[in-house]
Amino acid sequence: MSLTRESVVDFVRPFVELSYPVKGFENGVPTTLYSKGRLDVRYVIFWAVVFSVLRHVSMKYILSPLARRVIPTPPLDHKPTSPAMERHLKRVAAKKKEHNSVRFAEQAWAMAYCTVFWTIGMIILHRIPNPTSPEQLWGTYPYTPLPALTKFYYLAQLGWWFHQLYVINTEKPRKDHWQMFGHHLLSIALIGSSYLANYTRIGVVVHSLMDFCDILLPLLRYMAFSQACDAAFVVFLVSWIVTRQVGLFLVIKSAAVEAPKYIAFKWDPANGHYLTKGMYYGFIILLSILLVLCTVWFYMAIMVAVRVVRGQGAEDTRSDSEDTDDDAISLEDEDDGVIPNGHTNGVNGHANGHANGNGVTNGITNGNGVNGVNGHSSAVNGHANGLKNRKH
């Protein structure tokens, strides 16, 4: 087969344009709708690559530089007693700031995505009269062909989750790596199966519920504004309850109770009808697993809320990275030999103790150090042990 301009265009077009256009009506208005087919895979691949490139470019040239400007350098852990110790503490503080800046950029990127796609999801739902009623969710099944915006929304979302799989497997693993890995696989399974089986209306509702509270993730926790962080966290927690706990539960209830009233159990691919009993129970099981994951994370969020009530500040333990060892900079790099061995042990004891308790060093679990009192106590104990070593 010869390579011609037309053949190249025909190969590339499905990556950048929606495939399978057909004439149809949307809300009684003539328009172009879109069916489904194998070429949709290329569109998903395209958006997975686009999201990966956009993330890299935006974080490197926009979000990370912005974070370095707005995030203050953490204060020194304690008053240095020598020039070498001061250099060490400044290096630790600089590393903390850089770590906070990276986390800020990551959160800002995810927040931007969720804001855009939650808005698109709400536009799609707004175009449907009474979109959450059983008649619209289930009575319109099979909902095919799709409006252009709905098909773009679905396939781009699928590309996003493949992009997320790439991200979590190319960056340093975090404490919740396997939870997030499972969540991403589950999201891909739900989006892919609901798209192929024409459950896109309920899929848009689920996505809108899941995306909303991610817009409210407290980026201020990396900017050392404790009160603003705690207030934002309370709003985030309430939105989580409303959308991911109550809202998702109501979706599952509707699927279990209402769907069989409107959709017959039969396998009719020629007409886009795929609701067999196996598909029905599988769909409910996948949604239930998603609810279980959300409940686990909600429990973790409640633990954070308890700390807020106790005046310890909001500390997100759900997705912090485990890089304590990277942040504990050894004084062996200092070459002026000013610090005696015992004092060196004391400073290293401070670093290790602070890593164990400070929250900023321990994976930046507390972006503004509001839980640093306990960490500083551990650090002081480590420093005291070092002084004992010097005496011996």
pLDDT of 221 reads 56
Q: Given pLDDT bands bounded at 50, 70 and 90, which one contains residue 203?
A: very high
Whether the Cβ atoms of residue 176 and residue 299 lie closer than 8 Å to each other: no
The pLDDT, as a whole number, for residue 313 is: 56
Q: H/E element holding 121?
A: helix 83-126
Question: For residues 361 and 380, what is the distance between their CA atoms, to the nearest angstrom?
Answer: 15
Q: What is the pLDDT of residue 166?
A: 93
Give the phi and the psi of residue 171 in degrees, each rounded to 5.
Answer: -100, 170
CA distance 146 to 152: 9
pLDDT at residue number 282 = 92
Give per-residue pLDDT as tens, 284-343: 999 999 999 999 989 988 887 787 677 765 555 544 544 444 444 444 444 444 444 444
The answer to whether residues 144 and 36 touch, using CB atoms and an 8 Å cutoff, is yes
Q: Which three-class secondary structure state does DSSP give residue 34?
A: strand
Under 8 Å between Cβ of 224 and 72: yes
Mean pLDDT of the chain: 79
Question: Residue 120: what pLDDT?
Answer: 97
Q: How many DSSP H helices and E strands does the chain contain?
A: 15, 3
Nearest CA-CA partner of 347 in 323, 328, 366: 328
Work out the burial of residue 199: count CB atoms within 10 Å of its CB; fewer than 13 is exposed, 13-18 middle, 19 or more buried. buried
| Pairing verdict, β 146-147 and 21-26 | unpaired
Average pLDDT over residues 167-174: 84
Residues 240, 246, 252, 254, Cα dihedral to 10°? -140
- 126 φψ region: left (φ > 0), alpha (ψ -120 to 50), beta (else): alpha
Q: What is the model's pTM?
A: 0.76
Q: For residue 288, what are the CA distances in angstroms to 36, 186, 208, 209, 318?
A: 27, 11, 17, 15, 20
pLDDT for the residue numbered 228 = 65
Q: Which DSSP string do the residues of 170-201 spell out, in sequence order? A: HSPPBTTHHHHHHHHHHHHHHHHHHHHTT-HH
Spatial separation of the C-alpha atoms in residues 239 and 231, rounded to whole Å: 13
Q: What is the pLDDT of residue 196?
A: 93
Residue 236 has what pLDDT? 81
User: Six-digit token pair at 70?
Assistant: 């707005």
CB count within 10 Å of CB 262 equals 15
Instruction: Give the position of tokens 């500390």.
Output: 315
Structure tokens at 149: 């915006």
Residue 369 region by backbone torsions, left for phi larger than 0, else alpha for psi between -120 and 50, else beta: left
Beta-carbon count within 10 A of 292 CB: 10
Is the pLDDT score of 208 beyond 80? Answer: yes
Q: Using 50, 70 and 90 to split pLDDT, how confident is the model at 243?
A: very high
pLDDT for residue 55 is more than 90: yes
Instruction: With a cut of 80, say whether residue 357 has pLDDT above it.
Output: no
What average pLDDT score do residues 174-202 get?
A: 90
- In percent, the amount of the chain with pLDDT more than 90 equals 46
Any idea of the CA torsion for 258, 263, 265, 269, to the nearest 10 degrees?
Answer: -140
Q: Are 100 and 367 in contact (CB under 8 A)?
A: yes
